[in-house]
Amino acid sequence: MIFACRLLLLIVAAELLFGAYAFTTRNRQIGPQIPERSQTDPFSWNELNDLSKQVQLINSSSEWQKLAEALIGKGFYIQGELAFREAVKRDSANLTAAQGVAFCLDRTGRIAESNKLYQQLVSKTSGETRQLILYAIARNHLRIEEPQTAEQLFYENYDFIPAKLMFNKLLVKSDRGEQALPLINQFLRKLPQSLLFQQVKREALIENADQAQALHAADMIERAELLIPVNFNTDFLTERNQNFGFNRHWYEYQTISEKLPPAQKLTVLQELQDSQKDYLSPYTLVLLKESARAAADAKNAEVLKHHLNQIENYEIVDAEIWELRGDLFDLTGDSDQAIQCWNKSVSMTPNNIVYQKLASLYAETEQNTKREQALADAALDTGLTAFRNNDLVTAGEMLKISSKLNSNSARCWFYQAELDRLKKQFSAAKLKYEKCLQINPYHGRARLQLQHLPQIPPAQ
């Protein structure tokens, strides 16, 4: 009996040892985790699969990191986190992979874990990498509604321009605009065209009830540019997304498309479309529009009609589709329908190129008055683009051309008045604002600017 019990215990122990060995071996043999084929586009899945095979073949930290970056670029943060962790296991000095783990934790809502790992990296990094990590920690504190901690971290990282912006935004949002204004103005003396700083400045001025300066800040906003990156997570993912799968091919096409003849464009685009046939891709409609445009450029009515028919299935109508419909009617000799479609296009989104098409077709059909109107609209669109790009000389030239061709555009008179006001030519500005209001008495911005013009003494 005792012998039998001992034998049974030995058998059970052996089975446990064997089970533990098998489990451990199996865990060691589990390869990289990639999504199912149906969860992404064919190009991306094939590249992820190739990277997975490469990892199993070489099993180095750099290969795991490459796979992880491809995964997160496609939005697979859980699998990306596992791959980044494997990269760190194989090389503890791989700080990029460690930062990748923290990023994935951040993206999947495990903010406390993310910040803990980010904090460990602060002392191990330097320069812009360290600044980015401190910025990420501060942003995470904002996400968990700890603005005081975030504000302190932004202040400690104040040499980093995005942190400078966020620190001042928090001051303004917490009714400390008066404290923020000297700091904002100090930065704007170096970079006056910064859209985001000008927006924060305007909010601070409104908070301080400084209406005149707030209007000046609004002027600057209209002509400012987005110069400061603040969405680092999006930028980080976009860069990796463009390096893999379908997005890589699409990005490559975009970089060379202007150099390709229309016929070759159509060939490349058809290959891209064929790769998406069995996958519900957000790029399907984009590819159809791009193919239709290439067909229009090639003056191939048959192919253009084919792509427009496919676009109709999506029941979406926008300015670009109306333009393409007009192109098809133009190619088939139906001038009236082409004009109707192009007019619908510019009524939705003003576009200099479409205005030029209209002007050409009006000239062909001897509709000279309408041709001048289209040319005036084209000049106005070009002038407004120059104005918003802070090219005030070109803006003035194009707006003058537009007003000569069409003197009844309230919008054109308003922006000519804006140019005069910015040059402190207040008498001329007043006349143009009044002309704008004669044409459109409900033009609110013209009325507001007229009210805030400096008082001009009457002529002696």
Of residues 248 and 439, the one with the higher pLDDT is 439
More confident residue, 321 or 9: 321
Q: What is the mean pLDDT of residues 129-157?
A: 93
Local confidence band at 273 (pLDDT 50, 70, 90 cut-offs): confident
What's the pLDDT score for residue 19?
56
Q: What is the mean predicted confidence (pLDDT) over 414-437?
A: 93
- The answer to whether the pTM exceeds 0.95 is no
Q: Please state the rounded mean pLDDT for residues 93-115.
A: 93
pLDDT tens readout for residues 42-99: 888 888 889 899 989 898 999 999 999 999 988 899 999 999 999 999 999 999 999 9
Q: Tens digit of pLDDT for each residue in 370-397?
A: 999 999 999 999 999 999 988 999 999 9
- pLDDT for 12 equals 55
Backbone φ and ψ of 74, nearest 5°: -100, 5
What 374-378 contacts at long range (C-beta under 8 Å, 24+ apart), as own/partner pairs, is 375/405, 376/401, 376/402, 376/403, 376/405, 376/406, 376/409, 376/412, 377/346, 377/350, 377/402, 377/406, 378/352
**Alpha-carbon distance 170 to 134, whole Å?**
16
Give the C-alpha separation, 376 to 407, whole Å: 9
Banded model confidence at residue 224, pLDDT cuts 50, 70, 90: confident
Answer whether residue 262 shows pLDDT above 50.
Answer: yes
pLDDT in tens, 304-361: 999 999 998 888 889 999 999 999 999 999 999 999 999 999 999 999 999 999 999 9
The span from the CA of 111 to the CA of 119, in Å, is 12
Determine what percent of the chain is predicted with pLDDT higher than 70: 91
pLDDT at 159: 92
- Which residues on neighbouring strands pair with residue 194, listed in sequence order? 225
Mean pLDDT, the chain, integer: 87
Q: What is the pLDDT of residue 27?
A: 41
| Structure token pair of residue 13 | 């122990």
The span from the CA of 438 to the CA of 440, in Å, is: 6
- pLDDT for res 22: 45
User: 33-47, 155-169, 215-229: which has the highest mean pLDDT?
Assistant: 155-169
pLDDT attached to residue 457: 53
C-alpha distance from residue 203 to each of 9, 198, 220, 244, 291 (Å): 78, 9, 13, 41, 44
Looking at residue 96, its pLDDT comes to: 92
Q: What is the pLDDT of residue 24?
A: 45
Mean pLDDT of 235-253: 81
Q: What is the mean pLDDT of residues 238-247?
A: 79
For 172-217, write each residue's pLDDT tens digit: 999 999 999 999 999 999 888 888 899 999 999 988 888 778 888 8
